[in-house]
A and B are shown apart, each in its own frame.
Chain A
Amino acid sequence: MALALLAIIISLSGTLLFYSKMKGESITAAATTTQGLARVNITSRASINFTISKIDWGSGYVNDTALYCQLNSEGLNNPANCTNFTTVSEGLRLENDGNRNVEVNFSTNNSAAVFIGGTNPIYQWKFLNNESDSCGSKGIGANCVTNASALAPQVYTTVSTTPLLVCPCFRAQNPADLLNVELQIRIPSDSFSGLRESIITAVGTAI
C-alpha cells in the first residue's frame, strides 16, 4: 500500500514538474527583468529584407534603336527605349510600428553590375518622407528633432552594398512614421537576361 502511494506521489509530482518545466518561463517585461542563471535578451534591433521583385517592372527588352532602358518606381517607363516593361508608380514603404524611435540603415546585396550587368548599368535609390517629418535628426535622449534634410539621399543615388545611414531618427509616432524608398534602374542593351533579383535590407536600431 505504501509502495503504491509513493509511486503515485512520485509519478504525479514528476509529471507536473516536467509539464511546468517544458512549458517554459514567460517573459512579459523587458528582457533585463528575467531571473536565473540563463538569460534571453531581446535586442532593440530589427531588419527587413525587401526582394526587389516587389517593385516589379515585369519582363521586357531594350529597343533595338536604344542604348538602354531606364525605369523607376515613380512611373518612368519610356516606350521609345523600353518595350513590354510594366510601369511602376509606387516604391517601397517602410513604417515604424513600434514605440521607439529608430536609426535606419539601408544596404543592397548586389550592385548594378551584378544585378543588371552590361555597359554602364544604373541601380539607384532615394528616400522620401511619405508622412512629413517622419525622419529627423537625433535630439536629446531618444527624441527626434525636425530636420527636413536628415533623410538622405533624397535624389537618386547609386545604391550601397554596405549599410548606409539613411535616417538617424525615424519617428514611431503616428502620423509621422512612414518613409518611401524609390528605386531607379538603367538596363543597357547588353545587360544580363533572365530573372534578375536584388534584396534591399533595412536595419532599424532603437536610439
Chain B
Amino acid sequence: MKSKRIRRKYLYLILACSVMLTVGVILLFFSYYAVYKVYDLRMSLIVSNHSAFNIDPESINFGTSSPGNSNSRTIVLSHDYSKPLLIHFKSSGNISGFVSLPADFYLQPHLAKEVTLSANTPLSPQQGYYEGRLLVYFRRI
C-alpha cells in the first residue's frame, strides 16, 4: 500500500517535471528561434489646440496634434537574416488608442522597407500628453 503511494508520488513528480521541461524547451525555442529580434520604441503625442512637428529621431514623437487631425512618422526596417522575416507590431500605453499600426508583412533580407505610423486624434479627446511603446517583432517564419 505504502509502495503504491510512493510510486504514485513519483509519477506525479515525473509528470510535473515533464510539463516544466516541455514548457521550458518551448519558451527556449521561442526565445532563440521564433523571435529573431524585437525593438522597443518610445512613442509620444501631445493633444492641444494647434499642431506641431517634432522630427527628432530619438523616439517616435508625433509632435502636437489638435482634435480631428493626424500626425505621422516613418520608420525604416531592414535585416540581414538569410530568409524573409515576418514583421509584427504591437503598441502599449495610453497613446495606443490613437495609433494605427501597419498590418504584418514579410520583409526580404537586405531590403529596406519604410513604414508609416499615424496618430489619429479623435474629435473630442482630452488635451494632454499621451505616451506608450511600440514593439517591432522580427519573427522567423
Are B38 and A23 within 8 A (Cβ)?
A: yes
Minimum C-beta distance from B109 to chain A (A):
9
Q: Judge if B13 is at the interface, Cβ distance under 8 Å.
A: yes
Given contacts A25-B40, A47-B72, contact A7 B31 (CB under 8 A): no
> Within residues 100 to 149 of chain A, which ones have a CB less than 8 A from any CB in chain B?
100, 102, 104
CB-nearest residue of chain A to B120? A49
> Within residues 56 to 111 of chain A, which ones have a CB less than 8 A from any CB in chain B?
92-100, 102, 104
Are A42 and B69 within 8 A (Cβ)?
A: no
Q: Which of A9, A12, A44 touches B55 (beta carbons < 8 Å)?
A: A44
User: Which residues from chain A contact B25 at a C-beta distance below 8 Å?
Assistant: 10, 14
Task: Give a binary string over B38-65; 1 marks a CB under 8 Å from any A CB, 0 the rest.
Answer: 1111100010001111111111111111
User: Which residues from chain A contact B13 at a C-beta distance below 8 Å?
Assistant: 4
Minimum C-beta distance from B140 to chain A (A):
11
Given contacts A21-B30, A54-B66, A54-B68, contact A100 B75 (CB under 8 A): no
Interface size, chain A (Cβ < 8 Å): 61
Are A23 and B40 within 8 A (Cβ)?
A: yes
Are B27 and A25 within 8 A (Cβ)?
A: no
Q: Which of A23, A40, A48 touches B63 (beta carbons < 8 Å)?
A: A48
Determine the distance from Cα of A92 to Cα of B69 in the docked complex, in whole angstroms.
11
Interface residues on B, range: 35 or more
| Chain B facing A: main interface SS | strand
Determine the distance from Cα of A11 to Cα of B135 in the docked complex, in whole angstroms.
25
Given contacts A50-B69, A95-B52, A96-B53, contact A40 B75 (CB under 8 A): yes
Q: Judge if B101 is at the interface, Cβ distance under 8 Å.
A: no
Are A45 and B31 within 8 A (Cβ)?
A: no
Given contacts A45-B55, A46-B73, A204-B53, contact A36 B37 (CB under 8 A): yes
CB-nearest residue of chain A to B76? A41
Q: Judge if A29 is at the interface, Cβ distance under 8 Å.
A: yes
Task: Give a binary string over A11-38; 1 marks a CB under 8 Å from any B CB, 0 the rest.
Answer: 1111101101111111111110010111
Are A95 and B51 within 8 A (Cβ)?
A: yes
Determine the distance from Cα of A121 to Cα of B7 in the docked complex, in whole angstroms.
91
Determine the distance from Cα of A136 to Cα of B60 in the docked complex, in whole angstroms.
26
Determine the distance from Cα of A189 to Cα of B46 in the docked complex, in whole angstroms.
41
Are A7 and B17 within 8 A (Cβ)?
A: yes
Are A13 and B24 within 8 A (Cβ)?
A: yes
- In the complex, 30 of the A-B residue pairs with CB atoms within 8 angstroms, ordered by the A residue number, are A6-B21, A7-B16, A7-B20, A9-B24, A11-B24, A17-B32, A18-B30, A20-B31, A22-B35, A24-B38, A24-B39, A26-B40, A26-B41, A27-B41, A37-B81, A38-B39, A38-B77, A40-B77, A41-B57, A41-B77, A42-B58, A43-B76, A44-B56, A46-B54, A46-B62, A46-B71, A46-B73, A48-B72, A94-B53, A97-B53
Apart from A46-B74, A49-B69, what are 11 other A-B pairs with CB-CB below 8 Å?
A: A3-B14, A4-B17, A10-B20, A13-B24, A14-B25, A40-B136, A42-B73, A43-B57, A46-B73, A94-B50, A95-B51
